[in-house]
Amino acid sequence: MLSAKMEGGEKFIRFSILGSDTTKTLWNMQVRLISVTSPLIEVENQLLSPEGLIAYCARVSSPHQESPDYKKLLAYCIRHKHWSVFEMVDMTVEIVTSRAISPQILRHKSFQFQEFSQRYAKAQEIERYMPRRQDSKNRQNSLNDLDNETKEWFDEAQERIARLTLEEYNKALERGIAKECARVLLPMGTQTKLYMKGSVRSWIHYLEVRTDKSTQQEHQEIALEIKKIFMAQFPVTASALAWS
Ligand SMILES: Cc1cc2nc3c(=O)[nH]c(=O)nc-3n(C[C@H](O)[C@H](O)[C@H](O)COP(=O)(O)OP(=O)(O)OC[C@H]3O[C@@H](n4cnc5c(N)ncnc54)[C@H](O)[C@@H]3O)c2cc1C
């Protein structure tokens, strides 16, 4: 049976590997701000903000390096693709997602990552996705118009696979098989956690690409959450980019 909770607009459902059963629990993608570069220099007796530091570094050759007004400067740098100034400040976020999505995230080579290791720790959860229909005209797109019977079939298929996977994975560990070997039994829906650190420059381009509708919906939702964090941390840059 398709879970009533899934019909309530939730995107994911998870199975717990820790328990012996496969009781469904709701899961939403999780994103959390971990850190932003914290400048240590003061201008007019005030510590610079992260964006103030970008402007301060951009004005390295200017006699007005300490000017507190940098709205126009950051907009100018964006307009003229003077991207290196945006490499002066970093942001790190924590992302909880599935192994179906994390390889897409890891492709963004200008970032630095730490990801949960299935070699050293037991996998915790298997996510279940609400299915969408393949768009026959655009292979990068999927449509939210599947009939209930197909959704139920897919939900049950995920449940069967998760149950089988958990049983065999747990048995493998009980037999003393190394986690790095046992993990080949796990599906792509297995949950993972990553720390993703990058410069403001990298985040700008990541967010432009991954909030676009050509990106898989589950990844788009992660990027949209990170975009909210970015906009709160870098309001002048976000405004110069006309982000809303
Ligand atoms: C819709 C979609 C489909 C994809 N399909 C495939 C596929 O089929 N197979 C596959 O192997 N890969 C695929 N990819 C992955 C893609 O090719 C890239 O590897 C991935 O998006 C990482 O981007 P990147 O290399 O620019 O890395 P990033 O780390 O995001 O960027 C690298 C550097 O380039 C800079 N940069 C990026 N964009 C700009 C810009 N516009 N202006 C100035 N600087 C910029 C960044 O700031 C950074 O410094 C797909 C990606 C998307 C979004």
pLDDT, mean of residues 77-100: 97
Beta-bridge partner residues of 30: 96
Q: Which residue would you say has higher pLDDT here, 25 or 209? A: 209
Centre of ligand 1 from the C-alpha of residue 108, in Å:
6
Q: What is the pLDDT of residue 14?
A: 52
Q: How far is the CA of 188 from the centre of ligand 1 (A)?
A: 22
Q: Tell the burial category of 147 from Cβ atoms under 10 Å away from its Cβ (0-12, 13-18, 19+).
A: exposed
Is ligand 1 within 6 A of the CB of residue 110? yes
Structure confidence at residue 15 as a pLDDT band (50, 70, 90): low
The DSSP string of 39-83 is ---EETTEEPPHHHHHHHHHTTT-TTTT-S--HHHHHHHHHTT-G
Choice between 168 and 17, residue whose per-residue pLDDT is larger: 168
* DSSP designation for 84: G
Dist. CA 98 → ligand 1 center (Å): 20
- Mean pLDDT computed over every residue of the chain: 89
CB of 193 closer than 6 A to ligand 1? no
The pLDDT of residue 18 is above 50 = no
- Closest by Cα among 237, 243, 196, 242 to 224: 243
Question: Which DSSP string corresponds to 184-208?
Answer: GG--TTBEEEEEEEEEHHHHHHHHH
215 close to ligand 1 (CB < 6 Angstrom):
yes
Q: Residue 117: what pLDDT?
A: 92
Mean pLDDT of 138-147: 92
Predicted pLDDT of residue 63: 86
Does ligand 1 lie within 6 Å of residue 124's CB atom?
no
Q: pLDDT at position 139, please?
A: 87
Q: List the residue whose alpha carbon is closest to atom 8 of ligand 1.
A: 140
The encoded tokens of residue 168 equal: 């065999």
Amino acid 64: pLDDT: 86
Interval 24-52: pLDDT, tens: 444 568 999 999 999 999 988 999 999 99
Å from CA of 39 to ligand 1 middle: 29
Cα(202)–Cα(208) distance, rounded to whole angstroms? 10
Helix axes 200-210, 217-233, angle to 10 degrees: 140
Q: Is the pLDDT of residue 159 over 70?
A: yes
Would you name the residues annotated as active-site residues?
210
Question: What number is the average pLDDT over the span 48-70?
Answer: 92
| Mean pLDDT within 195-222 | 97
Q: How far apart are CA 235 and CA 51, in angstroms?
A: 9
pLDDT at 107 over 90: yes
Residue 207 in contact with residue 227, Cβ under 8 Å? yes
Which one of 107, 109, 142, 226 would you pick to mutate in the ligand 1 pocket, going by the greatest count of ligand atoms within 8 A of its CB?
Answer: 107
Q: What is d(CA 189, CA 194) in angstroms, rounded to the nearest whole number?
A: 15
106 CA distance to ligand 1 middle (Å): 10
pLDDT of 61 reads 93
CA pair distance 26, 242, nearest whole angstrom: 35
The rounded Cα 244 to chain-centroid distance in angstroms is: 19
Q: Are 110 and 204 in contact (CB under 8 A)?
A: no
Give the pairing type, strands 90-98 and 42-43: unpaired
Q: Is the pLDDT of residue 180 over 60?
A: yes
| Residue from 83, 205, 226 whose mutation best tests the ligand 1 pocket (most atoms within 8 A of CB) | 205
